A and B are shown apart, each in its own frame.
Chain A
């Protein structure tokens, strides 16, 4: 049985969603603990989220 590529893309998007969710959640935690470092945390969070997003889009285009 052949599995269509779009299923794989869906799986990757789920993974990317979990990843971005975790990054967001952990950043919230970190900001709550150390509000004075919120600027640095935000920057790092955005970079990590952007990198994961790249993988998600790559999957969408490959499917």
Chain B
């Protein structure tokens, strides 16, 4: 009985996610140019989707050149704090004037310009205009804040239900409790050890649910791509790097700089390699999550784009079926990547805390 409900819920979820995805993108790519132009436009669309943006566009009407969504605050530090709404950019079409300074969006980045919005280029066609320090609440930041709030309320209700109900969770807690236990029993304890796993649990749980929910948010028609942004994964990996190295014990550093149990010559050879490994480990975490999510988004959107390239009765359903199957695979990948990230973090923490065995 229970198994059936789980299957049903999964089915409904995947239907909502996949069809939502399709409709969102379908409406934006209606198009009647030649094939070459269409290919270019699909590519442009995908590139645009992968990038962060200063406004939250839900969908756009290309023929009327209208974008539907809401603007987000832009916060710049340029000889003083400048705060204004991103609606002043008009999606990069106009120059925003703030306290006598002019800013322009160029390739999704803010540059300081003169009143007419001139962008100067060097010989490689890179803009040479000054870039102000940017602390804007972008689309990615909004998504992360949203997920943080969601997580806060979900886990608060889990904690509250324990108190109220003699340690038995209710509501959303019934869904979360097995996952929390899974992370404790199958990830933290086997990798870090019975005695020390507790101080890492808060980080492991946070990072698992944060990545997983963000990955799932990327599957919705909102069109956000947070975990496919290398800056986000860099920050996550940096935290893992700091925790690993700041909580490491003497034995861990001993294994890096003076590997016990090998000849002296090998100790000298191994030290630089091991030292490099300290940086490669979090680096691979960063690249893995970023590349997996980016690749997933690109492939999925390319297959959806094929509907508009084929424009016939065979190609359309074929692309639809492929996109549907791939979306289900992406749901799996979303959970798998969160699991792998947490798993490898736990593994690194475990390495940093290993006791010497004689």
Interface positions of A (Cβ within 8 A of B): 39, 43, 46-47, 50-51, 53-54, 57-58, 60-61
Q: Is B186 part of the binding interface, using a Cβ–Cβ cutoff of 8 Å?
A: yes
* Nearest residue, chain B, Cβ from A51: B284
Closest chain B CB from A25 CB (angstroms): 19
> Is B288 a contact partner of A54 (Cβ separation < 8 A)?
yes
Q: How far is the CA of A43 from the CA of B187 in the complex (A)?
A: 9
- Give the residues in chain A near B347, CB-CB below 8 Å: 47
In the complex, whether B339 has a CB less than 8 A from a CB of chain A is yes
- A40: nearest residue on chain B (CB-CB)? B190
Residue of B nearest to A49 (CB): B340
A20 to chain B minimum Cβ distance, whole angstroms, is 13
Q: A46-B340, A50-B343 are in contact. List 7 more A-B contacts (CB 8 A).
A: A46-B336, A46-B343, A47-B340, A47-B347, A53-B288, A57-B295, A61-B291
Say yes or no: A57-B287 contact (C-beta < 8 A), given A47-B343, A50-B340: yes
Give the complex CA separation of A34 and B48 in angstroms.
49
Digitize B173-199: 1 where CB-to-A-CB distance is under 8 Å, 0 elsewhere: 000000000000010001000000000
B344 in contact (CB, < 8 A): yes
Known: A43-B186, A46-B339. A61 touches B287 (CB 8 A): yes
- Chain B residues close to A by CB (< 8 Å): 186, 190, 284, 287-288, 291-292, 295, 336, 339-340, 343-344, 347
**Smallest CB gap from A53: residue in B:** B288
The SS class assigned to the B binding surface is helix
Q: Name which residue of chain B comes closest to A54, CB basis.
A: B284
Bound Cα distance from A39 to B347, whole angstroms: 16
Other-chain residue from A39, A51, A57 in contact with B291 (beta carbon distance below 8 A): A57
- A50 pairs with B344, CB closer than 8 A: yes
Q: Chain B's nearest CB lies how many Å from the CB of A28?
A: 18
Residue contacts A-B, CB under 8 angstroms, 30 given: A39-B186, A43-B186, A43-B190, A43-B343, A46-B336, A46-B339, A46-B340, A46-B343, A47-B340, A47-B343, A47-B344, A47-B347, A50-B288, A50-B343, A50-B344, A51-B284, A53-B288, A53-B292, A54-B284, A54-B287, A54-B288, A57-B287, A57-B288, A57-B291, A57-B295, A58-B284, A58-B287, A60-B291, A61-B287, A61-B291
CA gap between A57 and B233 in the complex, in Å: 15
Query: What is the bound-complex CA distance between A54 and B284, given in angstroms?
Result: 6
Q: How far is the CB of A4 from chain B (nearest CB, A)?
A: 20
Complex: A53 Cα to B288 Cα, angstroms: 7
CB distance from A41 to the nearest CB of B (A): 13
Most buried by A among B287, B292, B295: B287
Specify the chain B residue showing the minimal Cβ separation from A60.
B291
| B-chain residues with CB within 8 Å of residue A58 when the two chains form the complex | 284, 287
Give the chain A neighbours of B344 by CB distance below 8 A: 47, 50
Question: Cβ of A46: which chain B residues have Cβ within 8 Å of it?
Answer: 336, 339-340, 343
Complex Cα distance A39/B186, Å? Answer: 9
**Which residues of the partner chain A approach B292 to less than 8 Å between Cβ atoms?**
53, 57
Closest Cβ of chain B to A13, distance in Å, is: 12
List the B side residues contacting A39 at CB < 8 Å.
Answer: 186
Query: A50 — which chain B residues lie within 8 A by C-beta?
Result: 288, 340, 343-344
How long is the Cα–Cα vector from A47 to B343 in the complex, in angstroms? 8
Cα distance A49–B340 when bound, in Å? 10
B47 to chain A, nearest CB (A): 16
Give the chain A neighbours of B339 by CB distance below 8 A: 46
**Neighbouring B residues of A61 by C-beta, 8 Å:** 287, 291
Q: A63–B292 Cα gap in the complex (Å)?
A: 17
What B residues does A57 contact at CB under 8 A? Answer: 287-288, 291-292, 295
Q: How far is the CB of B231 from chain A (nearest CB, A)?
A: 15
